Structures are given as structure tokens and as C-alpha cells.
Chains A and B, each alone.
Chain A
Amino acid sequence: MKRWFYLIVILQLLFLVVEAGTKQLEISRGQVVTLKVVPVDPRSLFMGNYMALSYDISNLNLAKIPHEGALAAYDKYDTKVYVELVPQKPWAVAKAIRLTPPPPEENKLYLQARVRYGFSPRDKSMLAVEYGLEQYFIPETKQEEVNRMQWNPRGKTPQITAEISVTKKGQGYIKRVLVEGKALGY
């Protein structure tokens, strides 16, 4: 029992170090792009309050963006797609959409995504996707501040962007969220 206990506990602790270490490494090594954000804010069961983010590249117009294969191939919930990005100022834009990842030798910047809603009956070319980057966890004490920041009824809506670190395999990690160019300090 003693040997198994030590082995499992050491594996558990190692898991924490490796999990945190690999995420840190992937974020620091990834290429950083800025995306335009459209925020809202709910709460998760174990990880606390978060801003639910949606990006302007969360809705893709397949009539305008070049895409691989037939349109119908994208019209299914949870289909995995790869969105090729152009990292330009002030934020990156979608250049192409593919059903398979670009070959590594092409050295292209792309994000993995999943189809959420198929084409709407009104517009047979608008595709809603998720990048797995839709939750930005914030301190409970900052909830009010974030709410005011996002939903200012009198003033103009601030410009919110997110810096995303993208790995070579298209996995994205949120590095920072910026409001009017100023990073949220949490």
C-alpha cells in the first residue's frame, strides 16, 4: 500500500506541475494575435466568474471567405474546422477556412474551431463557430467593474480585444484581454 500511495500522490503532484508548465510553455512559445471581442458575463461551477467572449471571427461569412470543400460540409454541429488568420492591425482577420489543418511546411497561422450553429435559414453562408477561448475568468470582486465597462448605456461601448497565443497546432490560449488598448490587470 505504502509504495502505491507514494507513487499515486507523486504522479498527482507531477501532473499539476506538468499541466501548468506545458500551458505556460505553449503560451510563451505561441504566436500572438489580437482579436476583436464582443463580451457578456456568467459564472462557472468550479472556476468562478468569467466574461463570456465572442469574437468577430466567431461568425464567418462563407460567401466571402475562401473555404475548403462544399458549403454543406460545414453545416453540422461540432464539426472541427481550421480558421486561417492574417495577424494585421488593429486585429487579425479570417483569411480562409479549412476542414483539415494546413500542412506544417506552409507555416500558416490558424486556430482550431468547432461549428456551433449550422447555417441559418435566412443566410445560408453565415457560420457560427467557437474557438474554446470564450471564457475569461475574472475576480469576483471585479464583476461590477467589468459589467460597467461592457454595458455603459450612456457612453460609447469600449473597444475590447484579446491577445491570443496560438500554438503551431492551432490551439489558442488567452494571454490578455484589453479594453481600449489597456490590459485588464487580472
Chain B
Amino acid sequence: MDPFLLSSSQRNQWLSKLLERFVVYVPIELEDQVHWHRLKPADLDSGADVITPALRRIRASEPVKSFMFAPREQVGAFPEKQEPTESKTRVLLGVKNCDLVPLKVHDKILTDGEFKDPFYIARRKNTILVAADCPVPEESCFCNLLGLTPYAGDGADAVLSVSDDGYLFEVGERGQELVRVAPELFQEVGASDARVTKRDTERESAVAALSRINPQPLSPDLSAAVAVRRKDESFWQRHAEKCVECFGCLMGCPTCYCFLLYDQAKEKGLDRTRVWDACYLAAYARVGGGANPRAEFVKRFANRFICKFSDFKTDHGMYACSGCGRCFKACMGKIDIRKVLAEL
């Protein structure tokens, strides 16, 4: 299907229309960082506070997984039953590829296995993903080192690129819903339109920028490279030294999916809550009797790399890392995952 153009002058009109049918989230700039923001009709009123989605910036600080795999969620009750609740369909406008790819990681664990997570599945179905190109990579970006691109491959319902005079959309089947809210605002442009050509040029220059930021390729088989280091504690110790065990890297990670189920008593029975967990925690692998296979932090540090680059690749055919760079942006010890991977 040929791309559609939404002109800049009609952007807010379209967003208003979207808000009538959907809950809409957009990335916005707050100080120097990008954050997800739930769009309100008032954001679109003309005036000093009008919101402009920061679609050309890199990924938001919050990983997109949070929208489907909530940091904290009730997933069970006893003796009664807990089911996913119905809610208005959400549109995430401006998802970067380094957040889109990690959703595949969650899909593999929570929907593709023998046991399926009805809560994740309900939220995933209930979300329309609009990807946005990432034309200006920053120093922390390294998707290129993992074979990914700064624009969406598959996995989005629509792909948006910002052009000089508006938004250029390529829409998939579900993405058409976004056009249908106000078809009169969209104009079909041909595949040879100058805007499309310019978009492709911008994509190429983003790839070139990433090569300048990360010129040295990593091992072509990180899975094997990590496997070789599995028991090499001195290697991991060298990199783990500056870690203060704050878990910021794990909480910001778009692929990490570890969780803990815990129960809270109520008058009759219990509520079961799922919270994100962190494999860096000392108690993470400790058994009831007190034994702990990863009592020393260095083993837990290595575990993170083994999980992301070796086990996940072996079991699911992909790395559980998309090069978003959130882990070392958050790191107080300035441990750069690229450096660890480069020295494997």
C-alpha cells in the first residue's frame, strides 16, 4: 500500500479524533529526556502548553514493555478468579525499533509457550503500535551492533516518519483504523514521492551515524562468546566491580521479563500480584532452605549476560537485547554493556 501523508497543519485535528476513540500515548520531551505522556484533549488546544510529540528523538526513558507487562499487576485471586479487565484500545504513537523488538521477547515467553499469560495477551491485543523512525541516534544507542535498524522492521501496526510538512505513514491492516478515524485528513502519496525518498535517505544516514557511534562490530556469535565465558569469574568480576546493585539497568531494560508472584492475604483467601523482579537481587535464586546458587554478586552479574545473549538465543533464536542503551544511561557505575560485549 502506498504511504499516506498527514500534513503538519492537520496533526492536532487528527490527534483529537484519535482521542475520541482511543487512549493515546505520545513521547514528549521533559528537560532533555523523552518520556511517554498520556495525551489529553487540553494538550492539543492552541496555547503555550500545546504538546508536540517528540517523534524524532530516541526512545523514551520508560520501556514500552511497561504498557503490556505492567511493573505491578494483580494476576490472580483465591478462591475466586481474576480475569483481564476490558479497557479502551490504546495507541502508542512513536515506538522505536529498540522497543518493538523486545516485545517479541515477551511474546515468546508470555504467549508462545505452553502456558499463556491472559493479562499480557489482553493488553497486547488492546494496543495499536505506531512505530517511528529514529533519525538522530544518540551516543547511548547501539542497535546496529545487534543487527537491528533505527527504524521498524516488522511488528508495528503502522510506521511513521516525520517529513518536512507532516507525518508520513505506512499502515498495516490494523493501522488502517488510525486513518479511518478521519480519512479526509490523509492524502495518499506515491512510493516515488520526494518525501519517501528523503525518508530513505534519512534512514541511511541514521545507520551511518550509528556506525560512527559504534564503529567496532561485536562478535558475530555473542551466544557462543558468552558461553565460553560462563565460568570465567575474573572476566565478569572485572566488569562487575563498579556495580552498586541498584538494578536500574534491569528496571529500565525493555527485554527483561523476570517476575515474582507474591500473595497478599485478604479476609477470605488471597490476591496474587506479579511484580518485575531483578536477577541481581541476592534472594532471587535462594531456595527455602537458604541455599543459593548465585550467592556471590559476580555470578548474578554474569547471569544477566548469559540469559540475554546465550540462553535466550539458544532457546528462542534471538538476543534479549535491542541496543536501546537504557541500562548504562541508568548505571551509577557507568558500566557500558557495549564494553562488556566487546571484550568477551
Question: Real complex partners, A and B?
Answer: no
Interface residues of A (CB under 8 A from B): none
